[in-house]
Structure 1
Amino acid sequence: MSVRIDIAGLRRERVAVVPSPLAELGMALHALSEPGHHPGLQGWVTGVTARLDPHLADRMCEADFLWRTTFSDLFLPYAGIPGGAALPGATLAEELDLLDKLTDEQFVDAALEFSCAMPYGDGPGPLVDAGLRRRALELAAARGPRQERFTELLLTDPPRIRAWLRQFLKDCDDAFFAEAWSRLRHQLTADARHKTDLLRRKGLAETLAAASPAITVDEAAAEITVDKLSVGRTTTGDGPLLLVPTSLGWPHLAVLYRPGWQPVVHYPVGAPELAAPPSVEQLALRMTALSHPVRMRICRYLARSAHTTSELTQTLGMTAPEISRHIGVLKKAGLITTRRRGRYVQHQLDIAVVARLGSDFLEGILR
């Protein structure tokens, strides 16, 4: 699974690396709503939450589905401006003006993605299509009363919701984001400058690889592949490719591939990870390897000390070929290390790799 971007005919000067205050505000709201996604921001989240006005905190819950899951395409409005010439603004006020330039149809379609899980579509939207309108209301009702109420207002009075969202974002800026942005923009500007210089000297492939090891470029096929647990396809067409850095976004790597909008890669900078994240294929291999009860028992022993195949055979009461097959699966998934000690070959669980998959499993095998 992956998101693919067709870049046939894309000129280097049409690739722009630009920080976006509105996108960063979206990530700030996401971190405040889902602090578990961002353990490195717990201090900041606690500080903001402690001093947040209760009325603003209540308003933050009214439509948090727009940023709780990840964040809505509404936080990247420049990608939807016709002509593909718009870039992120230097200030939040400039980007809110760009948000106002989206048509009601664009605004509603983007807002419905998370309020009622409406899929991307190329045809008329629910403001025009009565069938899609009914479907949106049904999906919103299934998600809860807040989503249902928001969707009803969105479909009957888009200007009211647009005005509410603009005022809410301005109030968030006054309450906590302006202070955060005054610090973050320097790091993001420096990263954008570095990536732009890298693009000029080394090309697009190395620039995207520097943004995230999950992004690769097939120059022969003129295609970018972003390794994600989602499927999507878009094209730059005659427009630009936008790369938007985020300081608050790690570990999220987002790709905007909405039909009719320019593609945007929203990538984290200053990631605290010590090693490159595994590919989706490697992650699937690891989860499959660990799902077998025999391999879980093998991991229990290999977590404590190194064992030979012969030792595991005796301990588990299985044949050597059976143990070897299970060891092979674990080794292919990158979960164990193997070393030779004289005549013996010993296997041991790579605790650091398993810990990155989840503490519950690690605690279970070490219990």
Structure 2
Amino acid sequence: MPFASANAESKDRMLRRNRTMKKCRFISLLLAVALMLSVTACGNPSGTTPASTDKSDEKTYVIKVANQWADTSVHTKFITEKFIPRVEELTNKRVKVEFYGNNSLGNEFNQVEQTQMGKLNMCVISEQSASLNPAMLNAMMLPYLFEDEAHWDKVVNGEIGKKFGASLPAKGLRVLGFTENGLRVITNSKRPINSVADLKGLKIRVSSSEMSIALFEALETNTVATTIGEVFSALQTNTFDGQENPYNTIRSFRFNEVQKYLAETNHVLNTMYFVASEQWLTSLPEDIRGAVEQAAKEACQYQVKMLREAAAADKKFLLENGMTATTPDVAEFKKAAEAVYEKYYQKYPDGKDLVEEIKAAAK
């Protein structure tokens, strides 16, 4: 074959091969586009362009919770054993709780102030914070108000409890649940208490509740109000002769080590409140807020059950570790307590209807 003819044939083959390669690349490109459209259609059946993914639902939240109680107290355990794991469970661990117990962020007054400001998210308040709503919170501290635990249950879990829950947002707080502090009894280091007369002249520490102060003044004691964190050292140095608290508090703060006599006066069935910062709570997404409220409710129920189950064991422990008990006739104490009601009605006339409503709940 002549060289010129062979060369022309070679060029023709090269042109055909190039055209074939271009056609293949075009077909491959069409197939790739078709595949991409198919995948998009599967992920978005409507055929519309997917909206950008909002990552805000993956945000984690830190909750700062504080109280004034020792690690062994039921007022701490209901937070550490129930609230913390439950809120983490309900939020798939999108919530992390930082807990500050045993007055590590200051006493109750400090904690309330921090919670109102939103610097602290949740805390436990007692009758010491009655100034937040004096008529309502002081009513719950009136002596011999509740007939028994079932009566208390009806009050906090009924319409009266709802009133409490709605009473504090204006003060920057919201009640998420009620906890029980048990029946208060009197201890001292001087003598057994069998009557009101035996209390006369003793220097007794009470909480800063107006009703507590009024009761012990009616019992003719030398009454001093302080926060709970100061009590042990004051009893140890005989600055105070005695104090009044429920069994679990006496045990968890080791008052039995500096007190000899315990009088079962059972003068108040004590209520406390698990509260949240209103500012903080309302800023949370609905699902996180719902989880916090649900976990708080369940934790408070857990606390009440735990405290009641522990009461007999706490009393037994105290009597086996340095204390002796007396059981005064409470009729005499109830008579003295009438002066407290008179003082309450005089100062909070609108509270009389509330007290009657609480008493009626027992029926």
- Normalised to the residue count of structure 1, the TM-score between the two structures is 0.26
- Normalised to the residue count of structure 2, the TM-score between the two structures is 0.26
Structure with greater Cα Rg: 2
